[in-house]
Amino acid sequence: MEETKGEKKKPSVLNSAYDWLESIVSAIVICILLFLFVVRVVSVDGSSMNPTLYDGERVLITRIFSAPKQGDIVVFTQHSYGEDSLVKRVIATEGQTLDIDFDRGIVTVDGVRLDEPYIAELTHKKLDFTGPVTVKEGCIFCMGDNRNESTDSRSSRIGQIDTRCVLGKALFRIWPLSFLGGAKKNG
């Protein structure tokens, strides 16, 4: 039977199945490439980022970002501390001078008190920090939001973090679903 003008051939079941399979394979390849080169899922381990992020939550981080900025939540490794990745907030970047008044719990950067609505409580835990400290070139100074329960740049075991050790910047929380939302920058 010949096709007349205005009629279209109906796609066969085999062609439809092939189209679906092609779409599924393409989607899988795109997801793999995306997770290899652009984003990654990281699990929060411990209470050092409470109340912003909690133990067991998963955050999506991106490897494609400009240099870490003050207030960003980043994931990094620090081999002097261990092989696990750490999730902390950037408090100061290269060239900035940081000091902490542990009696009053106040953090200052370049002489200006930080407005920190995201922290669990004021900073009273000293670890072995002696300030003021000027952040070295190519480094950042990071602290957990749960300051008195966080081992971070105040400890000589972690210290200032070379930006080459930063795995990515947190974009948003993806698990648990009830908490789906942004990784808060300022609260």
What are the φ and ψ backbone dihedral angles of 161, each rounded to 5 degrees? -100, 125
Q: Give Dmax (Cα) for the chain.
A: 92
Tokens of 147: 């300051």
Q: Is 5 a catalytic residue?
A: no
Tokens 């930080």 correspond to 114
Angle, vertex CA 161, rays to CA 136 and CA 62, nearest 5: 120
Q: Is 184 a catalytic residue?
A: no
* Contact criterion met (CB below 8 Å) for 140 and 160: yes
Tell me if residue 115 falls in helix, strand or coil: coil
Please give the Cα distance from 49 to 172 (Å, whole number). Answer: 14
Cis peptide leading into residue 68 (ω within 30°): no
Which of 10, 12, 47, 88 does the annotation list as catalytic? 88
Which of 5, 8, 9, 48 does the annotation list as catalytic? 48
- Positions annotated as catalytic residues are 48, 88
